[in-house]
Amino acid sequence: MEPARRRAGCAALLIATLLVGGCGDGERRVGSALSGGSAEVALSAPVREFDPARLRSRTLLELAAAAYAPLYRRVDGDGGVQLEPVLARSLPKTSDDRRTLVIELRPGLRFADGRPLRARDAAATIERLVRFGGERARAFSAIDGWGAFARGKVRRLRGVSARGLRLQLRLRHPDVTLPWVLAEPWSGIVPAATDARGSRTQPPSASGLYAAFLRRQRGGSLVLVRRRRLQLKPLGPGYLDRIEASAVSGDALNLALRDRVDVVERRADRERIPILRSTYADRYRDVPTRAVAYLFLNPRLWPFGDRRVRRAVALALDYAKIRRLALGFLDGSCDPLPEGVLGHRGDGFCARGARGGAPRPDDAQRILADAGVLGAPVTVWAERSAVTFAVAREYARTLNELGFRVRLRLLGAASFRRALPRLWTRAQTGLAVVDPQLVHPYAYLAQLRLLDPVARRELAVLRRQADDAEPWQGLFDRVLGEGWVVPLGTLRSPLLLSRRIDVDACLRVDPLDGLDYARLCLR
């Protein structure tokens, strides 16, 4: 009876805090940095459900990171990016054959409703992701019994077992990416009793710094309430007492400029972007994402089967102009990997890649003439979006000036995403944005479907044994050296804050996971 009474008391306290804070706009957004206070986040659509395994929205995943703690997280170390335990007690212990991982959880952890957090909760979280996580399920494909469980033929995932605080993962073959999967925001731990398909009534009980609730007002909003008693050293404290995220009607950017809402992650019209970056530079940011834009040149199709042709195209492009045409939402980096990913080298990579410095169209045209491809018909494929449209048009213009006969094909966002797996191998060339669910060099390389059989075999070997950055860098050097893809840079996302947010003291943005809502505080 005592644990049940304690859980009921905790739930009553959280609900009371929620209701007291939800009486009106004036009462929702109160307080200061010293007392915690509250903040409001503007969303583009109502929140119907809040389950980390099923979320796709960048903003909702950022909010989920405040409510659902994973076993590990990525941090910058002396040797580059590395993993740090969060709910786990230490890094996984690996058997000699690298096919068994043992993870010990921290003792004394509890969910927001008072239930103790055990290894069986972590095991159930993995099973939910394999069964209902969509494309994320393949991140666990090395686990023994994955295929039968993912297809619904068996009730339990054979390679996952839990006892007390000890989680064991048995693999069909070694997989160096698996610990990194357990650091993703969507792999945050939820109770084992959570409905397998998720719930649209209330979110799963939280394992992180904030408890999560759904309100039916405004068509559906999310409320995060700080768990004051939670002591989890790797995460540190949450600052705000309360965060509410809801869909707003009207101009969300204007509401933030007038301090009516506190956080907006929404791209402005072309005319307003320079004003935001200059006049409101103290509270506007273009924040990095995990998405990278590449030009792809298909070596299986004429005229790009000739390596000289691919290199000539890369030589002719004006990368500074491409960055300007992307409205500043493309950082123009030469590195094929975003900052924060294992193997990232920054602009020091430029000398190794396919990209040159200033555009050299005359030299490129001579190379193309020698290759005998002038006048060749070329179709360029791209997504019709605010960032990629102008870049794709500039790429097509450059190819035309080089002597190709170019046709530009633009598809809507949804259509392009569906077509992209086929375009990698069936289109001559195009502009693609790679935005993998897993932040690891394997995930970026696996989406570049132009790799030849030798590179694909090397990729499979690296997935089984390459813990360090250097082997992944070597494979990327070959891919870019062949000119199969040309990196255009990492995409950036807009972030506008109200004047209530203390930008100087506590704005923390992860280059891959975005805004850290748990670290926001008020002036």
Find out whether 483 and 294 touch, Cβ atoms under 8 Å. no
| Torsion sign across C-alpha atoms 231, 237, 242, 245 | negative
Q: State the number of CA atoms in the 13 A half-sphere of 435 facing the CB.
A: 15
Whether pLDDT at 19 is above 60: no
Residue position matching structure tokens 């209330």 = 202
Find out whether 442 and 177 touch, Cβ atoms under 8 Å. yes
- Over residues 465-493, the mean pLDDT reads 93
pTM of the model: 0.89
The fold of the 287-493 domain, in CATH, is Dipeptide-binding Protein; domain 3 (3.10.105)
Distances (CA, A) of 36 to 25, 124, 449: 17, 34, 48
- Over residues 255-283, the mean pLDDT reads 93
Q: In the structure, what pLDDT confidence band is assigned to residue 76 with cuts at 50, 70 and 90?
A: confident
* Domain boundaries 34-68+208-283+498-523, CATH class: alpha beta
- Which amino acid is it at 64? A
71: closest CA among 234, 290, 239, 236?
234
- Give the lowest-confidence range in 164-168, 281-285, 329-333, 494-498: 329-333
Whether pLDDT at 26 is above 70: no
Strand partners, 515: 509
Find out whether 310 and 483 touch, Cβ atoms under 8 Å. yes
Whether pLDDT at 8 is above 50: no
Q: What's the confidence (pLDDT) of residue 334? A: 87
Share of the chain above pLDDT 90, in %: 72
Q: Which residues of 427-452 are buried (b: 16+ CB within 10 A; e: fewer)?
A: bbbbbbbbbbbbbbbbbbbbbbbbbe
Dist CA 105 CA 19 (whole Å): 33
- Over residues 424-450, the mean pLDDT reads 93
Give residue-wise pLDDT tens across range 202-222.
899 999 999 999 987 666 899
Dist CA 291 CA 227 (whole Å): 32
166: closest CA among 259, 88, 84?
88
Whether pLDDT at 325 is above 90: yes
Q: In the structure, what pLDDT confidence band is assigned to residue 407 with cuts at 50, 70 and 90?
A: very high
Dist CA 293 CA 290 (whole Å): 10
Find out whether 7 and 13 touch, Cβ atoms under 8 Å. no
Strand partners, 490: 292
Q: Within 10 A of 12 (CB to CB), how many other CB atoms are there?
A: 10
Whether pLDDT at 292 is above 90: yes
**Which among 25-29, 239-243, 246-250 has the top mean pLDDT?**
239-243
Element (H, E) at 265: none
Tell me the longest C-alpha to C-alpha distance in the chain. 84
Q: What's the confidence (pLDDT) of residue 197? A: 63
Domain ranges in the chain are: 34-68+208-283+498-523, 71-197, 287-493
- Over residues 319-331, the mean pLDDT reads 92
CATH for 71-197?
3.90.76.10
Query: Do 287-493 and 34-68+208-283+498-523 have the same topology in CATH?
Result: no
Element (H, E) at 85: strand 80-85
Element (H, E) at 10: helix 2-21
Give residue-wise pLDDT tens across range 385-396.
888 999 999 999
